[in-house]
Amino acid sequence: MTSVFKEPQPSPHRISSPPKRFLFLFSDTGGGHRAATQAVKREMELFYGDRVVVEMVDVFVELQRWPMTRFPDWYPMMVSLKSIPWWVMFRLTDWMGCVAAVSYLTWPYVGRPICKLLQRHPADVIVSFHGVPNYTLALAFQQMGWRNPFAIVTLDMVTAHASWFAPGADLYCVPTEATKRLAVRWGVEKERVLVTGMPVRRSFTDAMSMSREAARSALNLPDDLPVVLFVGGGQGLGPLGRVIQAVVDRRPRARLVVIAGRNRDLQEKLQAMSGMESTTPLHVEGFVSNMELWMRAADILVSKAGPNTISEAFVAGLPIILYAALPGQETGNVTHVVDHDAGIWAPQVKQAADAVVALVNDSARREAMAQRARALAYPFAAEQIAQQLWALGESPQLLLRPAKILHRPLWGRGFLESQGAAKLNLEQ
Ligand code: UDP
């Protein structure tokens, strides 16, 4: 793998040296950013112990500026699936000129708060696990004259928004070759882009050493029927309830397990159904913190096209039925799964229910898809990203050349300079 770094050498443990501080910027917009950020944090702590301090900060909440502080709460409503406004917004803004223009236009409002945020959370290395703030972050570093290493870990699998590839970062970790091509298309030097895969929590890899029977027993699930696991991301999004009702109506010989996430309405509605006598027993959970066990216990996953859940399913070797995708950034996830024959795209309720029944009844097809899913897995992505970030912080001199802001709209030119001349008073 080529990179802009010389090959890092293992550094000797210097007891006297202070720990290296890493600031991980993410947001609870969906469940995926937190899960992926935590995965990398855990690897850093595991590998580097007390030589490292990793701080996770929800960048929108910590900006302390309305409406950004409300983004995590509004996210489920903003992305209500199949929403045309979301698609239009994604399409209209998905080019670097627009990302730059929006960043310059909003700078007078968010520039000072983002600089203050960086001052409140001093760090040797800053890592963004979210697309939206990246260009503004790069402007803030420039404004403050900071040359701390800055990395971006892209968490969309294929059709990642241009904002992930804002110029100014030293390192871009991306999940697939397709996202690497996008990064290069938006002007990132290809040597700066490492295809690492999506960071998946170590517990998913560990769970694979367990037998399916053991996982079922740990979850108190009888081991008598194939298990179909339904997940709608962290927020239980999409028409999950209707899909499950349609599957129950078809009475396949399978056990259905639904993880409703933070969708309390869905959980309560399905819990009312689960008490009924049926050839297709239904088990309902709310938000779980042991998804790896549920995936290990399952034979089939039915999910919205969330990149984290899909990456976890690859590690777990599960065939995937995708019942919905967020237009724009999740569209490519569907292509990725279907083109590699690791799953089925079933956007209508009837199609999804038929696909479940077909896979329940065809164990050979299930196994073939499971193998192809496994082949797409990057089980050690989080570990690899952690090592790359450590190398960035430990030996910034390994950097062959500095990153720089590439895209500056003509009419925005001079703006930062004038701000620089006025010098933001960050102590206020
Ligand atoms: N997740 C979880 N417990 C739940 C539901 C979801 O830990 O009850 C995790 C799931 O394992 C995945 C993330 O939440 O890591 C969902 O991410 P994804 O990208 O699939 O969807 P998002 O919620 O971000 O739209």
Task: Name the residue at shortest CA distance from atom 8 of ligand 1.
Answer: 287
User: Alpha-carbon distance 275 to 8, whole Å?
Assistant: 57
Tell me, yes or no, whether 339 and 289 share the same domain: yes
Strand ranges, E, within 17-124: 20-26, 52-58
Residues whose CB falls within 8 Å of the CB of residue 294, separated by 6 or more in sequence, listed in order: 219, 229, 257, 259, 285, 288
Residues whose CB falls within 8 Å of the CB of residue 96, separated by 6 or more in sequence, listed in order: 162, 165, 166, 186, 187, 407
Tell me, yes or no, whether 138 and 30 share the same domain: yes
What is the pLDDT, as a whole number, of residue 291?
Answer: 97
Tell me, yes or no, whether 269 and 410 share the same domain: no
**146 falls within a domain:** yes
User: Alpha-carbon distance 219 to 87, whole Å?
Assistant: 39
Tell me, yes or no, whether 356 and 385 share the same domain: no
Tell me, yes or no, whether 141 and 94 share the same domain: yes
Tell me, yes or no, whether 314 and 247 share the same domain: yes
Buried b (16+ CB within 10 A) or exposed e, 340-352: eebbbbbbebebb
Greatest alpha-carbon pair distance for the chain in Å reads 73
Ligand 1 pocket at CB < 6 A: 30-32, 35, 231, 233-235, 259, 261, 287-288, 291, 306-309, 312
Atom of ligand 1 nearest to the CA of 200: 15
- 144 alpha carbon – ligand 1 mean position (Å): 35
Task: Name the residue at shortest CA distance from atom 6 of ligand 1.
Answer: 234
User: Alpha-carbon distance 260 to 297, whole Å?
Assistant: 17
**12 falls within a domain:** no
- 289 alpha carbon – ligand 1 mean position (Å): 10
**360 falls within a domain:** yes
What is the pLDDT, as a whole number, of residue 396?
Answer: 64
**157 falls within a domain:** yes
Tell me, yes or no, whether 224 and 174 share the same domain: no
**Ligand 1, from 270, 309, 322: best to mutate by most atoms within 8 Å of Cβ?**
309
**251 falls within a domain:** yes
- How many Cβ atoms from other residues are within 10 Å of residue 284's Cβ? 20
Q: What CATH number does residue 305 fall under?
A: 3.40.50.2000
Tens-binned pLDDT, residue by residue, of the chain (428 aa) = 444 554 444 444 455 689 999 999 999 987 789 999 999 999 999 999 999 999 999 999 999 888 888 888 888 777 665 667 888 889 899 999 999 999 999 999 999 999 999 999 999 999 999 999 999 999 999 888 888 999 999 999 999 999 999 999 999 999 999 999 999 999 999 999 999 999 999 999 999 999 999 999 999 999 999 999 999 998 888 899 999 999 999 999 999 999 999 999 999 999 988 877 678 999 999 999 999 999 999 999 999 999 999 999 999 999 999 999 988 889 999 999 999 999 999 999 999 999 999 999 999 999 999 999 999 999 999 999 999 999 999 876 555 555 655 444 444 445 445 544 334 444 43
What is the pLDDT, as a whole number, of residue 107?
Answer: 92
User: Alpha-carbon distance 193 to 175, whole Å?
Assistant: 10
Atom of ligand 1 nearest to the CA of 79: 25
3-class DSSP assignment, residue 145? coil
Query: Pairing relation of β-strands 171-174 and 150-153?
Result: parallel
**9 falls within a domain:** no
What is the pLDDT, as a whole number, of residue 401?
Answer: 54
DSSP assignment of 217-257, as one string? HHTT--SSS-EEEEE-TTTT-SSHHHHHHHHHHH--SSEEE
- 409 alpha carbon – ligand 1 mean position (Å): 37
- 286 alpha carbon – ligand 1 mean position (Å): 12
Instruction: Tell me the pLDDT tens digit for each residue of 149-204.
Output: 999 999 999 999 999 999 999 999 999 999 999 999 999 999 999 999 999 999 99
Atom of ligand 1 nearest to the CA of 261: 8
Under DSSP, the state recorded for 298 is -
**355 falls within a domain:** yes
Tell me, yes or no, whether 174 and 289 share the same domain: no
- 305 alpha carbon – ligand 1 mean position (Å): 11
What is the pLDDT, as a whole number, of residue 415?
Answer: 47
| Residue after which a domain boundary falls, among 375, 397, 413 | 375
Tell me, yes or no, whether 127 and 74 share the same domain: yes
- Domain of 281 in residue numbering reads as 202-375
Tell me, yes or no, whether 174 and 196 share the same domain: yes
86 near 326, Cβ under 8 Å?
yes
Tell me, yes or no, whether 101 and 196 share the same domain: yes
- 226 alpha carbon – ligand 1 mean position (Å): 23
Tell me, yes or no, whether 116 and 141 share the same domain: yes
| Residue after which a domain boundary falls, among 355, 375, 395 | 375
What is the pLDDT, as a whole number, of residue 252?
Answer: 96
Structure-token match 């490492």, residue found: 194
* Structural domain count of the chain: 2
- 8 alpha carbon – ligand 1 mean position (Å): 33
Give the distance, in angstroms, between the CA of residue 181 and the centroid of all CA atoms in the same chain: 19
**260 falls within a domain:** yes
